[in-house]
Amino acid sequence: MNARIPEDVRPEVHRWLGDELFEHVPSNIVVVDRNYRVVLANRQFEEVFGKAVGRQCYEVYKRQDKVCDQCLAAQTFSDGKVHVNDEEGFDRRGKRAHYVVYTAPVRNETGEITYVIEMSYDVTETKSLQRAYNILFDRAPCYIAVINRDLRIVRSNERLVKKFGDQVGEHCYKVYKNRTERCSDCPALKTFADGQCSHSEQVGQDKSGNPIHYIVSTAPLERSKTDCSYVIELSTDVTELHDLSDRLNHESSFRNIMIESTLDALVATDTSGKVKVFNRAAEKLFKISAGQVVGNMRSDRFLPDRFLRAVEAGEANLVLSEATVVDSEGEQIPVRFSGSVLRNGDQVIGGSAFFQDLREFKELERRNLDNERLAAVGQTVAQLAHGIKNILNGLQGGMYIIRSGMRSGSQKRIDRGWNMLERNVDRITVLVKGFLNFSKGYAPKAKPTDPNALAKEVVELYRDAARQIGVELVWQPAPLVAPAMMDAEEIRSCLENLVSNAMDACKVSDNPKCSVTLAVDEHDDILEFSVHDSGCGMDHEIKNKVFTTFFTTKGLGGTGLGLLITRKIVQQHGGSIEVDSTPGKGSTFRVRFPRKRLPCAESANILVEDNHQEEDHDGGVGDGQS
């Protein structure tokens, strides 16, 4: 030591270095002899560990009663070298203390080591910081690795070990990604190169091979920017976030596909009333692009008034089997509508509306009706031909009888032939009138009508006639039947036709006690009128023909148009007619009106339009005749 201090240093400096330094140096210094007894301790030492001189050093430092296992002083006594070690002991208040100890030999003139100087300084605070750092390192909610320039992991935290396995010494790309070469976008290499922090998003796989998404941040571990030999990598696991986002994306695209591919038009709105969703079917229905609508237009413009009123009245849902909306060109479109107010708990978050375009359906329905009418016209023509042929036969017969009467000079025979001619001319007049009535256009003037009352009127009308031919006429009303939208005049004439037919069937029957029943019934929203007679009935052929080729079996008494007209009226009310008959037992005609097909204001309009054409046509014929 003395060798380091130049010869010319002043004696007072020597003295300070000897005495004062010992007392004032901010370090604990004791001198121990070969028995580890403290022979000298400086002030700093005694402030920390208390009175030391005369006590064993191990007793002072560690409150032990024997020499430490790895005694530094013993080593210095034996090898004469300086030793350094971390030690842990107790201060004079009994508090745990960490300190770094240096031991140095003190030799006498013969070179023998007589004492050892122990110098120590307190590292308790550093140690506790280190412990905190270790806890942070292991328990931090991310994967932490320290890697060297060879990209090998030199240290990894518990979390990383748990996820990727204990692979200290392995390359980080092997550990994180099970790769055999460096990653092209390695953030650690960037940090090694420029000493700056670096971030990137990576996909790796855990020790079981599951994909792990993480965001990695790298930072130089050394303070010196120029020479960095370690980088610390902090990786935040975002796999769950990623999965969640994937699921959200999936659900969102699923929803979008559903919205876009549904055949129903969908219009949805938020609380502002502006349209938020306007799918492809909606674009087609309203003839306007989603781009023009979404975020710009209010949804009210697309919704039926009845729905808006229902929402104002506090309704949450409304389904309309038929409503009208208006497209961008002002055309009215019939739709089936279903609208809902959307809620999240108690909070209204918007509204949604589905529209099913009914135009095609309506067109089909109209075409169907046209087809039925065409079929009826065809049947009428066949019937007409048959009727005319029978009348022609009568005319021919009348002419033959007159001619043969003239030839034989029989006035009686001529008169008979003349009467036959007249009868058949009358028949053809009735037939033509009936046919014109049938072909004349007609729109049901539908009003709410009590079916029971209507049936009763018909029964009253025929009561006397029935009594005269000895037929019992029965009115059988339905209990609790609601009024139905129908043209009372027309339906009455149908029922009259059926009752009159039934009475005719009774007239030619052998059954002495015939009855005719006009019954009203309703089941499953179908209103039914039935006319049953216990008259002659019809055999198979006639029954088959009664609605296919309309004809009469009443000779001069009928035109054969009655049932044809009846069926036409029934069809115009959306109904159907059928017959059940057994020869000799009687017949039942059933007229059924499904309530939902009964005329309403709109369908009546369609028929009126059709009828204008027919009326014009009739008018032309009429002018020609007059």
Partner 1 sequence: MSAQRILLVDDEPDALEFLRDLLEDHDYVVASADSAAAGLAQAKKERPDLICVDVLMPEQSGMSLYQQLKTDPELKNIPVFITSGLNVSRDLDKIEYRRLPDGTIIPEPEGFVEKPVNIQRFMDLVSRVLG
Residues lying near partner 1 in the complex (CB under 8 A): 385-387, 389-390, 392-398, 400-401, 404, 413, 416, 420, 423-424, 504-505, 508-509, 536-539, 541-542, 544, 549, 551-556, 583-584
d(CA 294, CA 317): 23
d(CA 23, CA 620): 140
- Nearest-approach distance from CB 396 to partner 1, in angstroms: 5
Q: Tell whether the torsion through CA atoms of 483, 488, 490 and 492 is positive or negative.
A: positive
Strands (E), 94-168: 96-107, 113-122, 143-148, 153-156
Nearer to partner 1, 37 or 507 (CB): 507
Nearer to partner 1, 212 or 395 (CB): 395
d(CA 302, CA 292): 13
Nearer to partner 1, 164 or 551 (CB): 551
- Residue type for 23, please? E
- Nearest-approach distance from CB 497 to partner 1, in angstroms: 16
Nearer to partner 1, 515 or 553 (CB): 553
Nearer to partner 1, 80 or 397 (CB): 397
- Nearest-approach distance from CB 468 to partner 1, in angstroms: 20
Nearer to partner 1, 105 or 535 (CB): 535
Nearer to partner 1, 231 or 564 (CB): 564
The pair of structure tokens assigned to 428 is: 């053809």
d(CA 151, CA 175): 11
d(CA 70, CA 75): 8
3-class secondary structure for 158-205?
Answer: HHHHHHHCCCCCCEHHHHHHCCCCCCCCCHHHHHHHHCCCEEEEEEEE
> Helix, strand, coil shares of the chain as percentages rounded to 5?
45, 25, 25
- Nearest-approach distance from CB 537 to partner 1, in angstroms: 7
Nearer to partner 1, 272 or 396 (CB): 396
- Nearest-approach distance from CB 395 to partner 1, in angstroms: 7
Nearer to partner 1, 127 or 386 (CB): 386
- Nearest-approach distance from CB 617 to partner 1, in angstroms: 28
Are 295 and 274 spatial neighbours (Cβ–Cβ below 8 Å)?
A: yes
- Nearest-approach distance from CB 427 to partner 1, in angstroms: 9
- Report the chain's terminal Cα–Cα distance, integer Å: 153
Nearer to partner 1, 473 or 546 (CB): 546
Q: Which residues of 582-605 are buried (b: 16+ CB within 10 A; e: fewer)?
A: eeeebbbbbbbbeeebbbeeebbe
Are 560 and 383 spatial neighbours (Cβ–Cβ below 8 Å)?
A: yes
- Nearest-approach distance from CB 545 to partner 1, in angstroms: 8
- Nearest-approach distance from CB 400 to partner 1, in angstroms: 6
Nearer to partner 1, 383 or 530 (CB): 383
d(CA 236, CA 512): 103
d(CA 624, CA 366): 32
d(CA 536, CA 293): 69
- Nearest-approach distance from CB 508 to partner 1, in angstroms: 5
Nearer to partner 1, 75 or 549 (CB): 549
d(CA 546, CA 221): 104
Give the sheet arrangement for strand 230-237, strand by strand: 153-156, 143-148, 230-237, 211-220, 198-205
d(CA 503, CA 464): 12
d(CA 567, CA 379): 12
Nearer to partner 1, 297 or 563 (CB): 563
Q: If we measure between CA atoms, which residue out of 154, 152, 162, 159 comes closest to residue 136?
A: 159
- Nearest-approach distance from CB 383 to partner 1, in angstroms: 10
- Nearest-approach distance from CB 501 to partner 1, in angstroms: 10
Nearer to partner 1, 34 or 389 (CB): 389
- Nearest-approach distance from CB 539 to partner 1, in angstroms: 5
d(CA 558, CA 566): 14
Q: Which residues of 174-188 are buried (b: 16+ CB within 10 A; e: fewer)?
A: bbbbeeeeebeebbb
d(CA 59, CA 377): 129
Q: Tokens 């978050």 map to which residue?
A: 349
- Nearest-approach distance from CB 381 to partner 1, in angstroms: 12
**168 - beta bridge partners?**
none
What pairing do the DSSP bridges indicate for beta strands 230-237 and 143-148?
antiparallel
- Nearest-approach distance from CB 474 to partner 1, in angstroms: 23
Nearer to partner 1, 558 or 575 (CB): 558
